[in-house]
Structure 1
Amino acid sequence: MNKKKIFSLLLTASLLFSSTSYVFAADFKISQPEPAITTTLTASSNSEERNVKISKEQAKKIAKEKLKKYFDITISEQDFKCNINLNSYTINKDNKNYIWHMNWYSNSHNSSKNISLTLDANTGDLISMNNYNYNENNSSIPKLSIEDAKEISNKFIKNINPSEYKLCELSKDKWFSNRGTYSDYSFNYVRNIYGAKYYSNYITVTIDGVTGKIKSYNFNWDKNLKVPPMPKINLREIAESNFKKEMNMELKYKLLQNKYEYQNKDNTKNVKLVYEPSIEKGYSIDANTGKFLTYDSDKNVNTQTAKLNETEIQNLYKNYKKLSNYTKPLEKEEASKLMTNFVKKFYGNGYTIENLSYSENDNSYKSTEKKTWRASFTKKIEVTNPKTNKKVSRTLGGNITLNALNGQILRISNYLSSYYDYDKNFTPKFTWNEGYYKAVDLLGEHYGDKIKNLELNLTHTETIYKENDQKKPERYYRYYFTRKVNNLLYDNDNIYIEFDTKTGQLVSMRCSWDDDISFKNPNNSISIANAKDSFFKKYKPELRFIMKNTSNDNKNPKMELKLVYVLDSPNVYIDAFNTNILNRYDGEEIKFDISHFLNEIKESKYEKEITILAYSGLVDTKDFTLKKEIKNMDLIKTLVDALGYTPYIVDRVETYNKSSALENSKSDSADTNESALTNEDYLKMAKYYGFIDGDIKNFNFEKKVSREEMCKALIKFLNYEKIAECKDTFALNFEDGNKVSKENYGYVSLAKGLKLIELNNNKLNPKQTATMEDLAIGLFRALENKESSRFYPYPLYR
């Protein structure tokens, strides 16, 4: 499609060219699992076909009719091959249910089509359909707006499920979510009962945003659902009060991503002080009683805590010793000797150190792992195979990593210690509480420099499993000692210790720690009350139906609909200094209101295109202004974000090209915002992608971008620069074509032909500074001409 368009442009340009022509060079879910419907899907034997009302051939006929009627898809037996299987599933030990699963596929040298479909084997109802056409449409941006796609989706559901559509509510779509592809829209219709949503019954539709065709459909609906009467009591205020009362807001430091990674070029960490909301009792309250809901899983949990008394703490602190680095990294022989001693101490004699290697990684976001020695250790043993009762040879072993500057253990694990241990019935060598003290002893012996900065109080939650009415012992005890800074937790750094309870042996011990982080002082942080108020201004309890087991007999469950108030799982943070609600991924403020952006773009004739860009996460709605003049940094960030910031690609390139000019590139105008990538980060990717070339050592980030320079960047974005360099092929057939720089003739002509830039009264105004509106429509049309074969950027704001 794109090649045909370019050929057409070239042909037109060559016909226009003459001696007088100018020639010139794009919904939260419930956090606690709902014990509703559990299904197990299994392939059925041919003999089970007699249990269903619809035969295989009838199923194929019905499927073809539905594909034609609802999806405008015609299946030809000559063009498609078909697989069809009968599958069964059970719901809570009830009678079997059967479905016919069909798959039609067709391959050619430049395309691949795959259509899958499932039918109820007794009623013939369509359950799901998925239409995947490789290479049919690889556009990087939708042509339809979300409203256009929603209208198509609504019309489709009204046609295929008219009665269910009346009982559904379309889930609110979240702008700037990380979409599966830029050219698809997905809609979820949830069953609404008395104004309460029942998320286990739903209809989902995916619309191709370029063609408007239905790409997938899924119908999950219980037509025999027994709906209880709606209670007359309104306990919403009580529910909200109970949620607020039970919500814990813990002040802590969190490591967040700098959009695509945890650090920028200078290893600056995005660590913020935040309040983390959580509710120990769960996020569901019975709408009839106002009390928190309990689940069967809660009955199978045993919780215990362990902590040191004051005397024990002081005895532990006697082991404190500041860790001093050597003048130079350990030599190979020194590292080998240390490793041999550690392995012998933890796992006994007979092990051999192998594959010893030294590593330096200046880009590691763990300061302790910049210079390390790594090795494996093994030994041969003989064990008895319980099935044959014969001796067989096995290899035990593990891995060990040391800090090369001080010899401290970073990681050690004997991962094969129980791999060949077939005995499931055993008595643990010690209890979890006794293991806690063993772990504390290891802290004092090997991490004396860190013991004063660790949270020593631990809570252990054991899920109880039974076999033949006998409780199965825990095979492993795991202990996480989290780092504390300013007496607050920073859980990205910790010391982890794990024991094998059968052997009593250390399975694994690792230290994750970074001393290069600057932590903000918490003195000016907001109160817990303010953090709660901020949260509950945005998140309110929602009335829902869930399926719950109302029987006390776990072997004979009785599943019934239960009306509850649910608080959307608080998968957010509260900024500890200004009450902003932050995304847990990158720590950016969640934008709940984008009305200012929508009002701004109403003035543009490209409102639809800019809205689509924003919905795809490619326009920063925070400070968007149509007439804002574009600077070099605006252009670079926009185009890099459109392709996706993938720093590991550049790291790999630089690994093989140490002479890269980027190694020494710096700028006085670097962005110092800790929660964002630096200008140099973007410059590195722009250089890699080819938007800019030449010497970038003194790159001017603040320089304004002319309209012809924007054209050149967009053509490079599309990788069409070789075509643009065919200068004698193009003609500038607009009034001010003589003002275009000669080296940009081809770029501007091609950009105009692809409609990446618009004329005004037959003038391009090539030297005029491009605006944000110019860049937005240029990027949109460039993406229309670019196949979707890239990494997806993380949204700017959500």
Structure 2
Amino acid sequence: MNRKKIFSLLLCSVFIFTSFSTALAVQVQPKLEKIMYKTEVNPQNQDLTYVTNVSPEIEKKVKISKQEALDIGRATFKKYFNTNIYDSKFSVRISLDNYNNGGAEDYIWNISWSKNNVLKNVNYSVSVIANTGKIKSIDNSEYNSDDNNSIPTISLKEASEVADNFVKKIDADKFSQVTRVDNDFSQYYRNGSGSYSFSYIRKVNGVEFTDNKIEVNVDGTRGNVTYYDINWDDKYTFQDIKSVISNEKAQDILKNNISMDLKYVNYYDRYDDTHKKKEIKVVYSPSFKKGNTIDASSGIFMEDNLNNSSNLILKDLNEKEKIDFYKKYSEVNVAKEPISEEKAKSTIKDIIKDLYGDGYKLDPLAYDESSNLNGENEKTWSVQFYKDENKKYEEGGSIRIDALTQGVISCSKNNKYEEEKDFKANLTWDEAYNKAINTLAKYYPSQIKNIKTQQTHFDKSNEPKENNNKERQIYFNFARTENGIAYYENNINLVVDLKTGEINTINYRWEDGLNFPSLDKKISEKDALSKFSQKYKTKLAYNLVNTSKDLKNPKLEAKLIYAIDYYKAKQVLDVDAFTGNFVSYDGEEVNENIQTFMNDIKNSKYEKELSILAYKGLLNTKDFKLNKEVTQIDLIKSLVDAKGFRPYVMVSESSKDSNVKANNSAPVEELKIKGVTKGTQDYKYLQMAVSYGIIDNEEVEFKGYTKVTREEMAKILVRFINYHKVVECGDIFKANFKDTDKLSKGYLGYAALAEGFGLVQLDNGNFNPKNISTMEELTLGIYKSLNKIRFNNYPIYR
């Protein structure tokens, strides 16, 4: 998963957390008592360990003893999984831990039994609430080395029934109070694992209370529950829903608070794992002026005690200051050859003197030529600097400069200080901003016309003194701008120390030669907002809110709020500024037809198999039609997607086979195949097909839109599961179908194996080898094939 995907998922989780968690609940962290760690040999088995992590003082306070917790844990596995646990067969670990940032009453016994060997890894664990004996969570994990199926054997629907039955059994009194959410089945992101994940969200007065929920995971191969967790508290009183404003009014309030901001976003070609080829798109991204949660009664935006919008300060240069700032622009000379070590040392000494003063010594300089984060070749000089050899790592620092421009790429001064509640600041925040602006002008004069100078700051001066640690380090992130809009992939980061008044850290990331699309013909912000609002609706929910102004004594109440519902969507999507369509973190247009696909396959005999492939992300559901006749390129793309499309750059021929077998990624090689244009999507799919051994790299004409017969489909499916070598052994096959005489020469073995393995289905005892195969038949064949081979395939992220 590349950086873009990780960032997108993290961003999504932030939105979800803001909307439906205890974002507004300020809690005081309790002072935890010292825990006693003790590891010893398991008294029942000298080859295993027995670890305890328990404070004797706390153990005396809780109602459930260690032995009682052990008994509850064993009984839990016997009751719900029919598993007998004997300590003599496991390494056992027991700890008594505080959870949920609670007080003395919020302790939990965490117990695990583990056993690992070459053939099997087992981990059974249970969490028991130490004052009630109730089960908080269960982990029922087993892994067999020979049981790594490539594809689930049960569908999402079947898995949900397993999960429902488990919840009914373990939490019978709560099942009628919850609504199930299928966590992983999203049209934007498919779960590449073989498990299914479900959330059972509590409903009160018909309204979801997402702070209380039950989580259940189901193994898609074995069909058993592997994980359970409950977060449920009946101590809250719930606001009456009669007093709330209408959903329509809430939608208008929230919509009027959203601005759709234009920005340039960097997308990598998913067919090029080197990440050298990137495409920059223009998108509209939602920004919330006052947050994305309002009080359901008053319609006023919810604000916590610390980070509400009234504390947000925007700082920018005024018009005159910008004119003066831009006057400092100058081109930077780029040398043809790297500067010498002596010149680099002189340049670095000048920079350190300017930033930190006199008296610094340098270690020997290091020259390096390597790829940076953007895949570009960088030539750099770097060195450690210090005053006192004995305090090099406490008070010294490091710097790296460009060997062609002499510009600062990174500079950091070590500052080993603990957070100070009271220190004398030599700079205000405004003065720190001015210092950062002056540093930009001095060290990056060729970039200053393309820098977003506006910065934001949360003023914490109104916090209670006992909770207010003074800000010492001020972080500034100056993003690159092109055509007046931001490109956050390129930026200059500066950290200013208010106590010393120094620039503590500099990080520079900037790329040359990028192509930024013109903003001509873009849709309006109004149209982008309309598109966003049509998709993301407002939802009424209960949310835990701290109603106390005393931060040491928070009072949490379940209040009704309206928020934009991201919970089920899983991802906050950008809107393409030209097409108006939603785009994923890969920059590809999002396929939003998953429900259409699910409806279309309801009439198929193979609904289960097709839905599993769709769930796994191994089937492109966009424009999928059951009866569509399969072309050669359809066949290639479907089989490669089923492998997960995981290219990597081939290092050497000798490593090719071992790499493919080890991690199911494939080396890319030039094609001898004719009839397809190099660099196109079709070309790259053929490369992957060759690398996976699905086809041979031979000088033959590829006719991508030629229809595929059933016998041709049978041949390539047999090759897909790596049984083609068996066919090559000779004429040893006997077919179980009537129309063997209609097979083309050399196809009997492939057809016999395909039918025997269930890859191809007979029609009234006939193979029908010359009939054109359909997408329904091909997809079933792929599903059956994946059950014959064992590897971890990954989703194609359609």
| CA deviations over 1:683-740 (Å, ceiling 9, x no partner) | 4433333323334797665555454454454444444555554446654454555676
Q: Is 1:140 aligned to 2:150, yes or no? A: yes
Pair 1:455–1:305, CA change in 2 (3 A): same
Q: Identify the match of residue 504 of structure 2 among 498, 501, 507.
A: 507
In 1, Cα distance between the equivalents of 2:655 and 2:122? 39
In 2, Cα distance between the equivalents of 1:607 and 1:90? 42
Partner of 1:539: 536
Q: Is 1:372 aligned to 2:379, yes or no? A: yes
The one-letter amino acid paired with 2:479 is: T
The one-letter amino acid paired with 1:121 is: A
The one-letter amino acid paired with 2:107 is: Y
Partner of 2:606: 606
| CA deviations over 1:774-794 (Å, ceiling 9, x no partner) | 32112111222233434x234
Q: Identify the match of residue 411 of structure 1 among 399, 403, 409.
A: 409
The one-letter amino acid paired with 1:317 is: Y
Instruction: For residue 485 of structure 1, report the CA deviation from its aligned partner.
Output: 1.9
Q: Is 1:578 aligned to 2:589, yes or no? A: no
In the alignment, is the contact (CA less than 8 A) between 1:757 and 1:778 conserved in 2?
yes
Instruction: For residue 329 of structure 1, report the CA deviation from its aligned partner.
Output: 5.9
Q: Is 1:113 aligned to 2:122, yes or no? A: yes
Q: Is 1:784 aligned to 2:759, yes or no? A: no
| CA deviations over 1:588-641 (Å, ceiling 9, x no partner) | 344444344234324432122111111221222211022333344333333333
Pair 1:97–1:495, CA change in 2 (3 A): closer
In the alignment, is the contact (CA less than 8 A) between 1:104 and 1:116 conserved in 2?
yes
In 2, Cα distance between the equivalents of 1:425 and 1:547? 33
Partner of 2:173: 163
Instruction: For residue 766 of structure 1, report the CA deviation from its aligned partner.
Output: 4.7
Residue range with higher mean Cα deviation, 725-734 or 56-65: 725-734
Q: Secondary structure at the match of 1:244?
A: helix
Partner of 1:650: 649
In the alignment, is the contact (CA less than 8 A) between 1:265 and 1:680 conserved in 2?
no
The one-letter amino acid paired with 1:565 is: Y
Q: Which runs of structure 2 are paired with 1:589-668 in the superposition (5 Å)?
A: 589-647=589-647, 649-650=648-649, 652=651, 662=669
Partner of 2:136: 127
Pair 1:413–1:323, CA change in 2 (3 A): closer
Using structure 2 for the length normalisation, give the TM-score.
0.83
Partner of 2:5: none
In the alignment, is the contact (CA less than 8 A) between 1:329 and 1:371 conserved in 2?
no
In 2, Cα distance between the equivalents of 1:470 and 1:629? 68
Q: Identify the match of residue 72 of structure 1 among 82, 85, 103.
A: 82
| CA deviations over 1:136-158 (Å, ceiling 9, x no partner) | 74222222111111122222212
Instruction: For residue 218 of structure 1, report the CA deviation from its aligned partner.
Output: 1.1
| CA deviations over 1:478-505 (Å, ceiling 9, x no partner) | 2222222222222222222333333333
Q: Which runs of structure 2 are paired with 1:109-508 in the superposition (5 Å)?
A: 109-135=118-144, 137-171=147-181, 173=183, 174-176=185-187, 178=189, 180-259=191-270, 267-298=276-307, 302-323=311-332, 325-327=334-336, 338-339=347-348, 342-343=351-352, 345-347=354-356, 348=358, 349-359=360-370, 365=374, 369-379=376-386, 381-382=388-389, 396-402=396-402, 406-407=404-405, 409=407, 411-414=409-412, 416-419=413-416, 426-461=423-458, 469=466, 472-508=469-505
Partner of 2:688: 685
Partner of 2:44: none
Using structure 1 for the length normalisation, give the TM-score.
0.83
In the alignment, is the contact (CA less than 8 A) between 1:319 and 1:444 conserved in 2?
yes
In 2, Cα distance between the equivalents of 1:345 and 1:338? 11
The one-letter amino acid paired with 1:580 is: N
Residue range with higher mean Cα deviation, 637-646 or 299-308: 299-308
| CA deviations over 1:349-374 (Å, ceiling 9, x no partner) | 4213433122368xx746xx334234
Q: Secondary structure at the match of 2:507?
A: strand
Pair 1:97–1:458, CA change in 2 (3 A): closer
Partner of 2:756: 753
In 1, Cα distance between the equivalents of 2:57 and 2:231? 27
| CA deviations over 1:67-109 (Å, ceiling 9, x no partner) | 222223232455444333333447554x423333221223444
Pair 1:684–1:504, CA change in 2 (3 A): farther
In the alignment, is the contact (CA less than 8 A) between 1:128 and 1:218 conserved in 2?
yes
Residue range with higher mean Cα deviation, 567-576 or 283-292: 567-576
Instruction: For residue 132 of structure 1, report the CA deviation from its aligned partner.
Output: 0.7
The one-letter amino acid paired with 1:58 is: E
In the alignment, is the contact (CA less than 8 A) between 1:661 and 1:697 conserved in 2?
no
Residue range with higher mean Cα deviation, 96-105 or 742-751: 742-751
The one-letter amino acid paired with 1:350 is: K
In the alignment, is the contact (CA less than 8 A) between 2:735 and 2:748 conserved in 1?
yes
The one-letter amino acid paired with 1:581 is: F
In 1, Cα distance between the equivalents of 2:621 and 2:557? 45
In the alignment, is the contact (CA less than 8 A) between 1:381 and 1:393 conserved in 2?
no
Instruction: For residue 549 of structure 1, report the CA deviation from its aligned partner.
Output: 1.2
The one-letter amino acid paired with 1:795 is: Y
Q: Which runs of 5+ in 1 are unaligned?
A: 1-26, 385-391
| CA deviations over 1:148-198 (Å, ceiling 9, x no partner) | 111222222122212111111112554346455532111111110111111
The one-letter amino acid paired with 2:126 is: L
Pair 1:668–1:377, CA change in 2 (3 A): farther
In 2, Cα distance between the equivalents of 1:252 and 1:667? 41
Q: Is 1:31 aligned to 2:21, yes or no? A: no
Q: Which runs of structure 2 are paired with 1:757-768 in the superposition (5 Å)?
A: 757-766=760-769
| CA deviations over 1:211-252 (Å, ceiling 9, x no partner) | 221111112111333334333444322211110111111122
Q: Secondary structure at the match of 2:236?
A: coil
Instruction: For residue 400 of structure 1, report the CA deviation from its aligned partner.
Output: 0.9
Q: Secondary structure at the match of 1:479?
A: strand
Instruction: For residue 116 of structure 1, report the CA deviation from its aligned partner.
Output: 0.6
Instruction: For residue 572 of structure 1, report the CA deviation from its aligned partner.
Output: 1.9
In 2, Cα distance between the equivalents of 1:667 and 1:37? 65
In 1, Cα distance between the equivalents of 2:91 and 2:607? 44
Q: Secondary structure at the match of 2:109?
A: strand
In 2, Cα distance between the equivalents of 1:90 and 1:193? 22
Partner of 1:9: none
Pair 1:548–1:511, CA change in 2 (3 A): same
Q: Identify the match of residue 528 of structure 1 among 515, 525, 535.
A: 525
Q: Which runs of structure 2 are paired with 1:34-49 in the superposition (5 Å)?
A: 34-36=23-25, 44-49=54-59
Q: Secondary structure at the match of 2:222?
A: coil
Pair 1:574–1:781, CA change in 2 (3 A): same
In 1, Cα distance between the equivalents of 2:673 and 2:287? 43
In 1, Cα distance between the equivalents of 2:721 and 2:727? 11
Q: Secondary structure at the match of 1:504?
A: coil
Higher relative contact order (CA 8 A, sep 6+): 1
Percentage of matched positions with identical amino acids: 34
| CA deviations over 1:294-327 (Å, ceiling 9, x no partner) | 1122269854333333333333333333456445
